[in-house]
Amino acid sequence: MVGALSNSAGEAHRHLATNIRLVLGRRRLRKRTAKPSLLEITGKTGIAAIPYAGGALNQIINGLQQRRRYEAETALGAISERVGQDVFLTIVAGNPEIEAMLWIALQAITMTGVESKRRVLQNVVANAMVSEEPIDIEQLKVTALAELDAPHIRALERLSQAQWFDAQHSPSPRGEDGKDHSALAYAANREPTPVLAALIRTGVVYPGGAVDTGQGVSYAPVAGELTVGGVTEFGEDLLDDLRAEDPDGAASRPGDQERAAHRAFMKELRSKFDGEAAK
């Protein structure tokens, strides 16, 4: 029975390696042809919408699938070029943990609109393949990024900025009303609950309500409230990776409107705490 399972696993890995070779070969033949634009996709639906000439919905679905396939093939090619195709195939076929990491990363790459996230996932998988050290941190980064997308990345950026603001201004953490009046608390209160929950779940921020029991720190969340206690070192590392792939912040804060909103948020923080300091 064990031998049969082993043979089955070996056959599956050989099949996977063959499929990856086909994808990489097709990608070389295509010479990195451009990803089909949404305009090209929707332009085809004009003819497709004519009775008996095809289905407009099918044209859109097929076009979107082409775009997703393009992203996956581009990622596979980039990782393969960095580590070498033979090494790449050997590692994927012989290391189940990296195989699983690659699969999770590819799904996340095809499902996101954040370009810096795609590049970071490629880098993380490639680093894991050439690393001689345990790959736990790479696995954690891939798992976290698979769950975090544009709204979460923008929120994490705002929380990080607020945490930095607190470190520079050293505000009193508690006011006379007993509430947390830090910039971090102010920023966290502005974020939607599902976003905060995802940030806490993936370990990029600490949960709020930390209590020092004398025998270690425990968490006692307040009923009806979801707060954060700060951005973790892991969260800052992940942000640094994203910033390195997106220096101007365009991917994590897409468009002029989002960048303007971020500047307005930081101006609001400065105004709020400068006003309190003047009291």
Contact partners, residue 88, CB within 8 Å, separation at least 6: 20, 79, 80, 129
**Domain total in the chain:** 2
Same domain, 158 and 135: no
Residue 65 pLDDT class (50, 70, 90 cuts): confident
State the chain's mean pLDDT as an integer: 76
Same domain, 29 and 74: yes
Q: Is the pLDDT at 252 greater than 80, yes or no?
A: no
Question: Model's pTM, two decimal places?
Answer: 0.72
Same domain, 208 and 129: no
Same domain, 159 and 139: no
Same domain, 121 and 194: no
Tens digits of residue pLDDT in 212-233: 455 655 555 555 678 888 899 9
Same domain, 125 and 238: no
Q: Is the pLDDT at 253 greater than 50, yes or no?
A: no
Of 95, 120, 147, the residue that ends a domain is 147
Tens digits of residue pLDDT in 173-212: 555 555 677 888 889 989 999 999 999 999 999 888 654 4
Percentage of residues in the chain having pLDDT higher than 90: 37
The more confident residue out of 7 and 90 is 90
Same domain, 206 and 142: no
Same domain, 224 and 139: no
What pLDDT score was predicted for residue 215?
A: 61
Same domain, 139 and 165: no
- For residue 217, the enclosing domain spans 150-278
